[in-house]
Amino acid sequence: MRKSPNATHRPFVVACLATGTLLSLSVYGGTARAAAAPKREASGQTLEVLDGAPSGANSQDLKDYYNYLATRFKKATGATLTWDYYASSSEETSDIETATISGSGPDVISYGTSFVGTLWATGDFAPLAPGQWAQLGGEGSFVKSELADSGLKPSEYIGVPYDANPYVLAYNTKYFQEAGIPSPPKSWGQLVADAQKIQAKVKGVYGVGIDPEDAYDPWKNVFFYDADLGGAKPWEWINPAGTKVDLTTPQMEQAVKFYFALENQFHVAPPQSVTWNSSDLKSAFTGGKVAMVILAEYDYEVLQKGTPLQGHLGFAPLPTVPYGDTAMPPNGIPVSTITSGEYWAVPKYASKLGNLALDFEKISLTPQAQLEDFKLLGEMPVTEGGIKAVEAYDKNIVPFVKSEEDAIATSIAPVWSYVETGLLTALHNIGSYLVTHGGKWDSAYAAAQLKQAQGAAQIHATGFPPAKS
């Protein structure tokens, strides 16, 4: 579900060693032979790959990355690589369903961590065989946490990780200094207070930006805050059997209200931000119009160049203590990020192309490709070889490493993608309601939207069916 980028460095490798996830030096990056791209002759054949559409502030960088992979693929195999795109979570779901039902479509599908259950439930994605993993360097060549969303369990891995996207708080260090704030906030109450102080000291600048109209971001804001309150455990949004959805808890309603309260109650987000998407938010932050961004990825390190933000960009873990509290509430989970990343999956109907899809995946996992992904888009590598390459290039990524270490996984139930898209619709509707009602909060309307999202997702809550043979 490619949308925006990120990174990692040595402390992450240290963390992997500490938890027994040592990555083999004999795989990508370990030797020149292992790092080499596949050698095959497949002239006249075409491989179609489905991934996120280039859009927003880093659209050209994403195009450049896609072109890079296509060029490497052509050189290695003689075959042509073409790209197909989705522009939102709902469109991704639709494209996957259309392809699997018809038995034709993209030969490789990029999916985000929210979609592994959906893909598995179709029965149209076969688990990778040991020999296939061996061609990719072996499962031990990947950062262990990134394999969590490759399938429902190790023997059922249908996806191959190719990058990771932890989230952090991004802030303008210049504005913090001008407002006399010594460090980034550790609680949501402090975030609001810092934002108010910045607005009082720095003329024309808002404390924080939000993007409730974005096609991907809003539900994550709610998930993080809901978890801090003790209500966003995957087994509470969706039961362990994957058969029941619950989006109407008091914590959920409180989390949604706080998200929009940044604008309509605390007035630390610009009034116009209720209609923003991530591209609008990035422009506002890099343009010096807002001081903080809650869901920041490492692409800001790339986007800041040549903007008023350049030289004043800071990263920190997200706050975790809810507004009005001085400590985590009972059952609260201090979530810094979700286990967010992108994976390649190959539908069974693509077997007609032999090993071409596997060749493509291998190319995307070489240290050179992982570094190119990082340089262009700021995305975190997922292999030992990629980590070493990025580590040598840029070590200024400690907060992202800390965030990834504290990540919590979302539900792997097939219904999860419908929960995500349903909640996005609810948040979009609430934002539109605020625009047309003068920013006045209506708890009954918000609750009704969450109930409607729950009902829409519940229709798809069929549990964990076995894959088709």
CA–CA distance, 405 with 334 (Å, rounded to integer): 12
Out of 54-58, 101-105, 193-197, 281-285, least confident range: 54-58
pLDDT at 406: 67
In the predicted model, what is the mean pLDDT of the chain? 86
Phi–psi pair at 293, nearest 5 degrees: -130, 130
Q: Whole-prediction pTM value? A: 0.73
Average pLDDT over residues 238-258: 95
Residue 370 has pLDDT above 90, yes or no: yes
Residue 5 has pLDDT above 50, yes or no: no
Integer-rounded Cα Rg, in Å, for the chain is: 22
Percent of the chain whose predicted confidence (pLDDT) is above 70: 88
CA–CA distance, 385 with 403 (Å, rounded to integer): 21
pLDDT at 414: 85
Burial 121-147 (b: 16+ CB within 10 A, else e): bbebbbbbeeebbeebbbbebbbebbb
pLDDT at 33: 35
pLDDT at 236: 87
pLDDT at 404: 65
**Chain centroid to CA 81:** 25
Quick: pLDDT tens for 224-236: 999 999 988 877 8
Helix (H, G, I), strand (E, B) or coil at 68: helix
How would residue 466 be classed by pLDDT, with cut points 50, 70 and 90?
Answer: low
Residue in the block written with tokens 């190319």 = 363
Residue 375 has pLDDT above 80, yes or no: yes
Average pLDDT over residues 322-343: 89
pLDDT at 95: 87
Quick: pLDDT tens for 216-226: 899 999 999 99
Residue 402 has pLDDT above 70, yes or no: no
Average pLDDT over residues 125-147: 91
Quick: pLDDT tens for 445-464: 999 999 999 999 999 998 88
Helix (H, G, I), strand (E, B) or coil at 8: coil
**Chain centroid to CA 72:** 25
CA dihedral 105, 106, 112, 115 (to 10 degrees): 30
pLDDT at 338: 83
Average pLDDT over residues 137-159: 87
Quick: pLDDT tens for 18-27: 333 323 322 2
pLDDT at 25: 26
pLDDT at 350: 94
DSSP string, 350-417: GGGGTTHHHHHHHHHHSHHHHHHHHHHH-PBP-BHHHHHHHHHH----HHHHHHHHT-B----STTHH
Question: Is 216:90 a contact under the CB 8 Å cutoff?
Answer: no
The more confident residue out of 155 and 205 is 205
Quick: pLDDT tens for 33-88: 333 445 556 778 999 999 998 987 778 999 999 999 999 999 999 999 999 999 88
Which range of 85-89, 148-152, 419-423 scores highest in mean pLDDT? It is 419-423
Average pLDDT over residues 240-250: 94
List, in order of start, the domains of the chain with CATH numbers: 10-166+338-405 (3.40.190.10), 168-335+412-458 (3.40.190.10)
Residue 157's DSSP bridge partners are 151
Quick: pLDDT tens for 101-114: 898 899 999 998 77
DSSP string, 205-252: -BS-B--TT-SSSHHHHHHHHHHHHT---HHHHB-TTS--B----HHH
Helix (H, G, I), strand (E, B) or coil at 71: helix
Quick: pLDDT tens for 296-309: 988 898 899 999 99
